[in-house]
Amino acid sequence: MNNSLIIALDFPDKKKVEEFLPSFGNEKLFLKVGMELFYAEGPSIVTYLKEQGHDVFLDLKLHDIPNTVKGGMRNLARLGADLVNVHAAGGREMMEAALEGLEAGVGVGEKRPFCIAVTQLTSTSETQMSRDQLITVSLEESVCHYASVAQQAGLDGVVCSAHEAKMISERVGEGFLKVTPGIRLAGGGAGDQKRVATPKFARGEGASAIVVGRPITQAENPLESYLALKNEWEGVLL
């Protein structure tokens, strides 16, 4: 889990995934299945990727009443995903219920998937946060608060921007996972992301893993982009 580069498979269906993956040869990947792909293909997409030997982050960002999240997580745990997530905004009881569901879904003696919480989406700016959520503390304070609630609930970490990773480590300790999307190589287009960072910056700030979508999936040569990002993330000097 630690030091992973997670590729966001933001594709409309399995056909596109089957076109995308062969360029990576036998490389064992950590792949993120989000709502677009999951809603098109259902649980079988997770089984398919696991059968290919990859790790899977099922990024469905659950956010509902505790009982519903518990039931949802019980079923997601049965799929064999390695990492799942919830919105911290759902509250401590909801996050505790998520963990209970995961524990209930895995077989006896099996390890439950890691579970992390989304704090503030990396597409959210402070202006949007105060306008739409009526949260008037700073974005950093909101993210840190969500991180400590997630930790109190027993979660393994958070999804956050690389810009917040250091601050979160200071607040809740370095062992708490910080999975950071919004990653771009220097000079890369941000798209709809507001709080972007380079892999090197993320590493320096103590991120545990980075999530990269379009810079790899939309690249002319996905393997080349993947390796460039991975080398920078791992601090490999070329």
Question: Which residues sit at the interface with ligand C5P, rule CB under 6 A?
Answer: 8, 10, 34, 59, 118, 121-122, 159, 181-182, 191, 193, 211-215
**Minimum CB distance to ligand C5P smaller for 91 or for 104:** 91
CA distance 46 to 80: 8
Task: Provide, for the chain, the percentages of residues in helix, strand and coil under a 3-state DSSP scheme, each rounded to the nearest 5.
Answer: 45, 15, 35
- Provide the 8-state DSSP code for 211: E
CA distance 107 to 111: 8
What are the Cα distances from residue 197, in Å, to 66, 71, 184, 188, 190?
34, 36, 6, 10, 9
Residue type, 160: C
Which is the catalytic residue, given 61, 111, 194, 230? 61
**Minimum CB distance to ligand C5P smaller for 37 or for 77:** 37
Residue 194 designated active-site: no
Q: In 3D, which of 4, 21, 45 has the Cα closest to residue 60?
A: 45
**Minimum CB distance to ligand C5P smaller for 83 or for 94:** 83
Catalytic residue positions, numbered: 61
